[in-house]
Amino acid sequence: MKDPSYAIRDAYYLLLNGNLTHKGNPVPVYDASAARYAIAPYVILGEQTMVQRENKCDFNSECSIILIVVTAFPAGDPGNKKYADDIANQVTSIIMQAPKTNNIDLSPDFICQNTRLDGSNSSTSQDETYKYVEKAIRFTHIIKEL
C-alpha cells in the first residue's frame, strides 16, 4: 500500500496556486509552512491524516488535509474575518467544484472516489506588528490505490 499524502498535496497545489486572488492580487500557496517573510494573505497546505480502509479487493484510505488561510492587518487595526472567509470560499469552490465532479486528480497511482468538506474554524493572534486572522478548512477524501 502506498501513502497518497504527497499526491494529495501536489493536486491541491496545482489546483489552487495561481487561481486564488485577494483584491485582484494572487494569493500564494505553500506546502507545510510559509516562507519566512511571506506577506499575507497566503494559504498553507497543512496537517494531513490517513486511515487505511482496506477490503478484500482494494487498498482504500480515508485521507484528510487541513488548509490554512492566513490574513493579516496592522496591529492597531481591528481587522475582520471577511478576507479569510472570501479566500476560503474560493478554495472550497475549486476543490468542491460541482456535484459528482468534486474529485481531485491523483493519477497515475491513485483515484479519488469521494471528496467532502468536513468543516472549518477561525482563529486570531497578534504580535507587535500584525493581527493575524486564520481560517482552517478540512477536506476528507476516499482514495483508492490503482
Report d(CA 18, CA 80) in Å as an integer: 24
> 98 pLDDT exceeds 90?
no
Report d(CA 107, CA 14) in Å as an integer: 13
Output the pLDDT for position 79: 83
Mean pLDDT of 83-108: 87
Output the pLDDT for position 56: 63
pTM of the model: 0.92
* List of residues 6+ apart from 45 with CB closer than 8 A: 9, 12, 13, 29, 30, 31, 32, 65, 67
Output the pLDDT for position 112: 93
Mean pLDDT of 112-140: 95
Mean pLDDT over the full length of the chain: 92
Output the pLDDT for position 140: 96
What are the chain's domains? 5-145 (3.30.2000.30)
Output the pLDDT for position 99: 56
> 36 pLDDT exceeds 60?
yes
